[in-house]
Amino acid sequence: MANIKTKWDIIEAPFTQEMMKTTANLYRLGWDERNGGNISYLLKEEEVAPYLDVNAVIRAIPVQFDARALAGKYFIVTGSGKYFKNVADNPAENLGLIRVAQDGQNIELLWGLEGGGMPTSELPSHFMSHIARLEVDPENRIVMHNHATHLLAMTFSHPLDEKAFTRTLWQMCTECLVVFPEGVGIIPWIVPGTNEIGEATAAKMKDFRLVIWPHHGIYGAGRTMDETFGLIETAEKAAQVYTYVQAQGGIKQTITDRQLKDLADAFGVVPREGFLGE
């Protein structure tokens, strides 16, 4: 194809730049130490085709999950064992652009993961979450996992009850109810990298865009990179405030349920049913 650009031009593609900038920011914030965390970004063929020959498959990679529901879809993903701090300096080694094969048992590598790299070990969990979110919101494109520090810490000191955890976050920052009115989901502790944790996360993703992995981190989903990053960022800020408040002696006053309902009315959002008192 005459309009195909070189493989180096793909680094200038908007989706690659978003991955590079976001991974750098997550590392800067301390939410993705070492090779912790992963991102998958659902792309359209018309976004990919100007940068790649979509018929030129570098190699096929088996997936331990039946991904036929995503057959033919394109993703740019972070690599397994790759450090987020290195993505911006060497995106071709630390990122991969893949397509789900028609059999759903393999992915086709179209660019990146140079040196024999593999996609994130959490790819089945990402795929399951994408499938779940697309059923709820056909515009969903991002699934992001990281180890947001204060949210992670809260899972050791706060009851792991979705209603209680959500209400605490809503009460810590006025913006929280507006940003995630559906609240946060919480799964039990499960070994990461397994289909079991992916299935549990995906089940929650049908009702929530934020899912807490206790003593591990958080999964977030959204339509854009900014939306998803901002979603986690807002919850993490609330968790940080909660940490400070606890260190200062505990809650003495907070936003009331009545005030939270007034806030929801003012911004046209609907709080998750049953999470606020009468």
Residue range 94-130, pLDDT digits in tens: 999 999 999 999 999 999 999 999 999 999 999 999 9
End-to-end Cα distance, the chain: 63
Residues 55, 167, single domain; the answer is no
Q: How many domains does the chain have?
A: 2
Per-residue confidence (pLDDT) for residue 1, from 0 to 100: 43
Residues at the binding site are 145, 147, 216
Residues 126, 259, single domain; the answer is yes
Residues 207, 113, single domain; the answer is no
Distance CA 86, CA 97 (A): 17
Distance CA 202, CA 213 (A): 12
Per-residue confidence (pLDDT) for residue 265, from 0 to 100: 96
Residues marked as catalytic? 122
Q: At which of 95, 121, 147 does a domain end? A: 121
182 residue type, one letter: E
pTM of the model: 0.93
Distance CA 91, CA 208 (A): 31
Range of the domain at 53: 1-121
Per-residue confidence (pLDDT) for residue 277, from 0 to 100: 81
Per-residue confidence (pLDDT) for residue 37, from 0 to 100: 92
Per-residue confidence (pLDDT) for residue 200, from 0 to 100: 97
Distance CA 261, CA 259 (A): 5
Provide the token pair at 46: 């018309």
Per-residue confidence (pLDDT) for residue 278, from 0 to 100: 59
Per-residue confidence (pLDDT) for residue 9, from 0 to 100: 86
Q: Strand, coil or helix: what is 234? A: helix
Distance CA 14, CA 10 (A): 9
State which residues of the chain have pLDDT below 70.
1-8, 278
Residues 110, 9, single domain; the answer is yes
Per cent of the chain over pLDDT 70 is 97
Residues 268, 164, single domain; the answer is yes
Torsions phi, psi of 32, nearest 5? -135, 70
Distance CA 7, CA 109 (A): 13
Residues at the binding site for Zn(2+) are 145, 147, 216
Residues 155, 173, single domain; the answer is yes
157 residue type, one letter: S
Distance CA 237, CA 165 (A): 14
Per-residue confidence (pLDDT) for residue 64, from 0 to 100: 85
Residues 32, 165, single domain; the answer is no
Per-residue confidence (pLDDT) for residue 92, from 0 to 100: 95
